[in-house]
Structure 1
Amino acid sequence: MPESETWDYTLYIPNDPRAVTVCRRTLRTILTLHELPGLADTAELLATELVSNAVRHTKGPAALRVRRSPQGLVWIGAWDTDPAPPPPPQPLGQVVDLEEGRGLGLVTACADYWGWQPSARFGDRGKYVWCELAAA
């Protein structure tokens, strides 16, 4: 696969907790088909956290977006219908035994970079929370 190959996939999902599994499996398939299976475990973890937050904390539809930049970065983002910024990530040492609250801490620990931005889909205001992984 050429270093400069780019691609961009978006999976629109309903507000349904089962959609997290669909996103995770779809992401693994995308990375495998693009000869990036070494990123799959980390990418699945990050996508699970981002999409879980989108489904758990909003009532509307959501989306998973996965793309590769010409620089070789794999970008994973989740869109949801809540325009409010995500809460600041908690250090993993403070939330390791909790059932909730680890998501963005895991993203911060595992991704090369992450952020969020206001965005709109389906005619609704919302936000994208995204992260980057180096593919090379």
Structure 2
Amino acid sequence: MPETWDYTLQIPNDLRAVTICRRTLRLILTMHGLIGLVDTAELLATELVSNAVRHTKGPAALRVRRSAEGVVWIGAWDADPEPPQPPQPLERVGEREDGRGLGLVVACTKYWGWMPSARFGERGKYVWCELAAA
């Protein structure tokens, strides 16, 4: 049975926090022997966390956990309870920097979604995705 763990990094509404989340995620996965997931996980976390910071005004959080089934779950919480904008197909977004976030998540993972959440004393939502840890 795989080792289970759960980390949450609370961040301010500051785009510099995206880099801190990405580096923290790399360290977590490396320390748990999941280096093969790092590149994809960093891309997914960057998109989820940057959406949380760019499109909301309050604090945010990165959550990373591994289930007993060996699935790595990456989620970004933000204080806005409104659902995220539907993902745009990557071919429609092209080379633009904006509007591709959830499209990349959809392209890189089989399972993703969002759910309302009351976390850290505030209403909000989690946008999450799963990666299979081989």
Pairwise TM-score range, normalised by the shorter structure? over 0.9
**Backbone CA RMSD of aligned residues:** 0.7
The TM-score with structure 2 as length reference comes to 0.98
Q: Show the counterpart of 1:104.
A: 102
Where do 5+ consecutive residues of structure 2 fail to align? none
CA distance in 2, matches of 1:15, 1:4: 34
Q: What are the residue-to-residue correspondences of 1:32-47 with 2, within 5 Å?
A: 32-47=30-45
Q: Show the counterpart of 1:88.
A: 86
Greater shift, 118-127 or 8-17, is seen at 118-127
The TM-score with structure 1 as length reference comes to 0.96
Q: Contact between 1:112 and 1:134, CA under 8 Å: does it hold in 2? A: no
CA distance in 2, matches of 1:125, 1:66: 20
Q: What's the CA shift for 1:124?
A: 1.4
Runs of 4 or more off by more than 2 Å in structure 1? none
Q: Show the counterpart of 2:10.
A: 12
Q: Show the counterpart of 2:55.
A: 57
Give, as a single letter, the amino acid of the residue that structure 2 aligns with 1:92. Answer: L
Q: Secondary structure at 1:22's aligned position in 2?
A: helix
Q: How many residues are paired up? A: 134
CA distance in 1, matches of 2:94, 2:37: 23
Q: What's the CA shift for 1:4?
A: 2.3
Q: Percent identity?
A: 80
